[in-house]
Amino acid sequence: MEFTPVLRSEWLKIRTLRSLTAALPALFAATVAFSAIAGVSDASDPAFDPLFAALSGVIPGQIAAISFGAMAVSSEFHQGALRLSLAAVPQRGRWFAAKAAVIAVPALLAGLVTALAALLVGRAGLGSAADTLSTGEQVRGVVGCGVYLMLMALFAAGLAALLRSGVATLSLLIPFILVVSFVIGDAAGTVADFLPDKAGQSVLRESYGGASLGPWSGLAVTALWTAAALLAGAWSVRRRDA
């Protein structure tokens, strides 16, 4: 089967699952709401970063992006859905590539729209504290944020294919992001900079002097984590029974 019909069928699945169509609006709502709250931050802190403050809503908001990627794949493991998918598309690698594509595109588009809205809301709250931000820094933050959210959705999709469970994937990733990165990560020093979420979040910062990774190199590290997760997921799909 050609790739285009496979893409269409996978996109139809995304559109018809209510839990998936609700995840991306939740991403927008949560990110913008938390960025609005962060907009009243105390700018007198010497470590204050206006770009990160404006876009910081992505930290809790990314849970919705992760849920989107995990549920899009894990839905295939319910009630024999994967067997039907593979009966229609025997080439398992082609099917998994199509699944990844229909996760990546809407996650990227939703991420870009969400990042732009969060920046505008966050800047409005910060007022003059955000005047130091250049146009280039703001564009980089919005584009980088969109790419970061897409990568995290795909990272979750790859793990869901490997673990064959959305619940297991979310049970692993959500505590990792909310606990490991903030608690253990701070104690681990520079090693934490190479964690999949911490690395990618460097693109959200105005200043990264002295950091182990710059904005794009950090995003590249997250992309490597994502590629590894997708390869592991593809291996699981190809080698294990449906």
- Taking the C-alpha atoms of residue 182 and residue 93, their distance in angstroms, rounded to an integer, is 36
DSSP symbol at 45: S
Q: Burial of 44 by CB count in 10 Å (0-12 exposed, 13-18 middle, 19+ buried)?
A: exposed
Using an 8 Å Cβ cutoff, are 64 and 26 in contact? Answer: yes
State residue 185's pLDDT score. 60
Using an 8 Å Cβ cutoff, are 38 and 56 in contact? Answer: yes
3-class SS of residue 201: helix
Using an 8 Å Cβ cutoff, are 29 and 117 in contact? Answer: no
Using an 8 Å Cβ cutoff, are 119 and 133 in contact? Answer: no
State residue 153's pLDDT score. 97
State residue 219's pLDDT score. 95
- Taking the C-alpha atoms of residue 17 and residue 150, their distance in angstroms, rounded to an integer, is 19
How crowded is residue 106: how many other Cβ atoms within 10 Å of its Cβ?
20
Question: pLDDT tens digits for the chain (242 residues)?
Answer: 678 888 888 888 888 888 888 999 999 999 999 998 877 765 556 567 889 989 999 999 999 999 999 999 998 887 667 777 777 777 888 889 999 999 999 999 999 999 999 999 998 888 887 888 899 999 999 999 999 999 999 999 999 999 999 899 999 999 888 877 777 666 656 777 888 998 999 999 887 766 678 899 999 999 999 999 999 999 998 887 65
Domain boundaries, the chain: 3-239
State residue 14's pLDDT score. 86
List C-alpha distances in Å: 167 to 65, 68, 142, 164, 195.
Answer: 15, 12, 30, 9, 22
State residue 91's pLDDT score. 83
Q: What pTM does this model have? A: 0.92
State residue 72's pLDDT score. 92
Sequence letter at residue 102: V
